[in-house]
Every structure is written in C-alpha cells, then in structure tokens.
Amino acid sequence: MQKGIQMSSYICEKCGSIENTALGGYWKNLRDKKPVMCSECNFGNWHGEFPKEHWSKYGVKQLLEWEKRNDGSMINATEYFHRKGLV
C-alpha cells in the first residue's frame, strides 16, 4: 500500500495480502458469502495497480489502528486477526 493513497483496503483471507475493495472482488465475495480474497487468489493474477504486500509488512497493531479510524483504510483487520488467533 503506497503512502498518501487513500483506498478502502482489506486483508485477503487466503494469502494475507492487502487489497483494494474495488480490485479484488471484495463486495461480490461478501455478498455471495464467500471468503474475501485478493485479485490473484480470486481471479488468478494480481492486477498490478500497486505492489502486492502481505499484512505482516505493517503488523497487527498498525492495521488495527487503521481500522479504528473508520475511514475505510482497513475494513476487516479485527475479524481477520481474530480468525487467525492473533488478537
């Protein structure tokens, strides 16, 4: 995730990468009650709009802080980390 770019982000439930809700199929998967996945896990290739980064680059604390801002910066960190037993 690049500094200065505001985007609605989530953590891919399959590979743990940080993805944009508009690019990875987040809303469709959520609607269809399927795991929310990044573009690569969902469609077979990364979109290339920004570099693919794993959540661990930022860490649990940072991503939970972004989610607390409630501005869309991160929308599923609490749920993801609870499922993984990290919080």
pLDDT of residue 6: 59
Confidence of residue 55 (pLDDT cuts 50, 70, 90): very high
Q: Is the pLDDT of residue 48 over 70?
A: yes
The model's pTM is 0.89
Give the number of other Cβ atoms within 10 Å of residue 38's Cβ. 25
- Output the furthest CA–CA distance in the chain (Å, rounded): 32
pLDDT of residue 1: 47
* Chain position carrying tokens 């990364």: 46
Confidence of residue 5 (pLDDT cuts 50, 70, 90): very low
What is d(CA 42, CA 57) in angstroms, rounded to the nearest whole number?
22
Give the number of other Cβ atoms within 10 Å of residue 62's Cβ. 13
For the chain, where are the alpha helices, taking DSSP H only? Answer: 26-31, 39-43, 59-68, 77-83
